[in-house]
Structures are given as C-alpha cells and as structure tokens.
C-alpha cells in the first residue's frame, strides 16, 4: 500500500465508501472495470466513486491510477480525492462532474446547434492543455494511452477534465519512447497504429496525439458518423468522407458571418485532427504544436496529407491486445520531425 499511497488523497474504508454513496444508490455509469456511483462526502462535496470489479488487470490498473493521478493537479485533469483498498474491495473516489462525459455530449443530435462550434473548440483546447501538462508539465512524462470522448468529463461550465488513468504509463523526459509490457492497450478506433505495429516506431507521446486527433474529428463530425471498427468502414469514413467535407466547406459562399465563423472553426479542428492521425508518428505534431494550431488562424495551417488508415486483421488484433475497450515543439505550419 505504501508504494501507491498519496499525500494528496484520502484512504477510505469500504464501509465509508458504502456510506458516501448511500449504499450505491445512484449509478452514473458502467464499464469493463466496474460501476461508477454518485456520492457525497461528509463536508457536502459531491463525488463519483468508481468501484472496481475483479479482473486479471484490476490490481495493476488500480495501483497505476492511484500512483499516477494522485500526485498531479491541473485544471484539465480530473482530481482524485481518495481511494479504497480494503480487503478484496478497490474503489477510486473522484470529484463529481455534473455534465457527464464528452462522449455523452457529442452523441446527441445537433450538438453544434446546442452548444455552438466555438464552445466545442474551447473544450478541444482544454483537453489538449491537459495532455500537454501530462507530456511536459509533470516531473515524469505521463502517457495516458486511452484518450477518447468517454474519458473526458465536463463540469457545469463544460470545462473538460481528462479521466481514467488505469492504462497510463510514466517515464523519464530523457526517453523518447516507452516500452509497453503485455501487449497493446487502449480503445479500438483511438489506438495509434504504432501500438500494434512497432515497425512504425516506438510508443510515445505521439500515440496520445493520434488518439486526440480521432477524438477531435469525432467532436466535429458528430457521433452519427460512426467510429471505424471494421476495415471497410474505416476506409469509407476516414479520411475520404472528411476530405469531402473539407472541400464542401471551401466551396461555401461567404456572406453569413456566423456560418462563416463556425465553418472556419470546424475546418480548423478537422485539419488539426487529420494532422494528428497521420499513420507515421514522425508526421504528427506534438501536442504543443496542436495547441498553437487550434488557437491560431486556420489560414496558417497547411493542408494535411490524406492519412492512410490501417487496420489489423481481427485475429491479430485479439492476439496482440492485453486490454482493449470497444466502446513547445514543432512548427505551426507543419509538424516537427523526430
């Protein structure tokens, strides 16, 4: 226990967790790791308690999440308030995020009309700042390795916070890549190609950039454009459909200032997303460059090459994955090469 106890978090007994959640009365969500319940601390603060179920990776992921997130603090990173390691019981207690996940938000129809394209851009920038902190602002570099819409939570003001650090990996700033033991990890549709195909290079912060790029494209294009989960659908949707959309935006007649502004923001987010999902990690920008592009003018961004998305055969996918969920460098104009 001492190996992962954090001075920034509180250790709860299982009885205390049960009391905090009022007997696990209100479920907020569920996943392969277990269920999340709404709760309240004695001081009145609302929390979300993630109750971990038994699995072969549970112990490792639990220790990893407490050790990783328990020692960092950033406005765009979820705050871990406490944990439970009581006999067979494992739980993580986080600050409560009332607006749920970004995945839930973008799954709604006409999301751009509901909150507006400029607000989506602000959310995207907040997520990128959180990733930049993990990559460059911590004592040891942290790769999240599971960036996706459902791992981004929103507060009442729709400020985003990155969550779920069970798969995260920390390593020295002196190292350019990190070694993953036990095979690939992450979520289908967001995992960088080099996580499977090591001939493309080692797993690095560029792997998180790839996942962020897929998230960014999903934010702009909407959930109705299904995520690529088969080789056929990935060729049909990415990147051809997005490039077609870019051409349509370019051909729009100018005149409506609001439409023109929204189209410019959407085009910028798509262009940045396409840079992020380049198959070769060398061709992707660092997250700091992504931030420069997102906060700058769209005219300053070079048109990205059409990414060649690649899909492993299903049997190879199953053999190589240990955990999988189905659910200030660089140039502003073009990504810096490593």
- The 10s digit of each residue's pLDDT in 229-275 is 444 444 454 556 776 777 666 655 444 555 578 888 999 999 999 99
% of the chain residues with pLDDT over 90: 50
Q: Which two tokens stand for residue 117?
A: 């394209």
**All CATH 1.10.510.10 domain ranges in the chain, comma separated:** 102-325
Q: Render pLDDT for 12-66 as a digit per residue (tens, 0 to 9).
A: 999 999 999 999 999 998 866 789 999 999 999 999 999 987 654 556 777 777 8
22 DSSP β-pair partners: none
Architecture of the CATH domain 10-95: 2-Layer Sandwich (3.30)
> Looking at domain 102-325, what is its CATH homologous superfamily?
Transferase(Phosphotransferase) domain 1 (1.10.510.10)
Active site includes 146? Answer: yes
- CA gyration radius, the chain: 20
Whether 6 has a pLDDT exceeding 70, the answer reads no
CA pair distance 182, 7, nearest whole angstrom: 30
* pLDDT number for residue 100: 92
- Which of the residues 86, 104, 146, 208 is marked catalytic? 146
> The pTM is what?
0.84
Contact yes or no for 187/129 (Cβ under 8 A): no
Question: Across residues 86-94, what is the average pLDDT?
Answer: 92
The Cα 197–Cα 217 span in angstroms is: 23
- What residue ranges of the chain are covered by domains with CATH 3.30.200.20? 10-95
- 228 vs 244 pLDDT, higher one: 244
Mean pLDDT in the chain?
A: 80
206 is in an annotated binding site: no
- pLDDT score, position 80: 93
Alpha helix locations (H) across the chain? 14-20, 58-69, 102-106, 111-115, 117-132, 193-196, 205-221, 231-237, 240-251, 257-276, 287-295, 314-320
H or E element, residue 322:
strand 321-325
């Amino acid at each position: 226990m001492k190996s992962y106890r954090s001075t920034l978090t509180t250790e709860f007994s299982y009885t205390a967790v049960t009391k905090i959640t009022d007997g696990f009365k209100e479920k907020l969500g569920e996943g392969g790791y277990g269920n999340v319940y709404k709760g309240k601390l004695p001081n009145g603060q609302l929390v979300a308690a993630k109750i971990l179920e038994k699995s072969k990776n549970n112990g490792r992921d639990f220790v990893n999440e407490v050790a990783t997130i328990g020692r960092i603090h950033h406005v765009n990173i979820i705050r871990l308030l406490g944990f439970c390691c009581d006999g067979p019981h494992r739980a993580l207690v986080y600050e409560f995020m009332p607006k749920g996940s970004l995945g839930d938000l973008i799954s709604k129809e006409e999301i751009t009309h509901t909150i507006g394209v400029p607000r989506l851009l602000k959310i995207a920038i907040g997520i990128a700042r959180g990733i930049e902190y993990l990559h460059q602002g911590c004592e040891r570099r942290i790769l999240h390795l599971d960036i996706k819409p459902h791992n981004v939570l929103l507060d009442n003001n729709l400020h985003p916070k990155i969550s779920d650090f069970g798969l995260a990996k920390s390593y020295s700033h002196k190292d350019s890549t990190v070694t993953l033991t036990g095979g690939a990890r992450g979520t289908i549709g967001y995992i960088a190609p080099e996580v499977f195909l090591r001939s493309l290079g080692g797993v690095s912060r560029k792997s998180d950039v790839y996942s962020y790029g897929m998230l960014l494209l999903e934010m702009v294009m909407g959930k109705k454009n299904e995520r690529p989960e088969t080789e056929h659908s990935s060729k049909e949707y990415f990147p051809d459909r997005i490039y077609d959309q870019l051409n349509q935006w370019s051909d729009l007649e100018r005149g409506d200032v609001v439409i023109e502004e929204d189209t410019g923001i959407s085009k910028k987010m798509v262009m940045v997303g396409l840079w992020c999902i380049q198959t070769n990690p060398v061709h992707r920008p660092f997250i700091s460059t992504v931030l420069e592009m997102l906060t700058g003018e769209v005219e300053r961004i070079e048109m990205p090459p059409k990414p060649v998305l690649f899909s492993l055969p299903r049997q190879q996918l199953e053999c190589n994955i240990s955990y999988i969920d189905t659910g200030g460098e660089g140039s502003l104009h073009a990504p810096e090469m490593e």
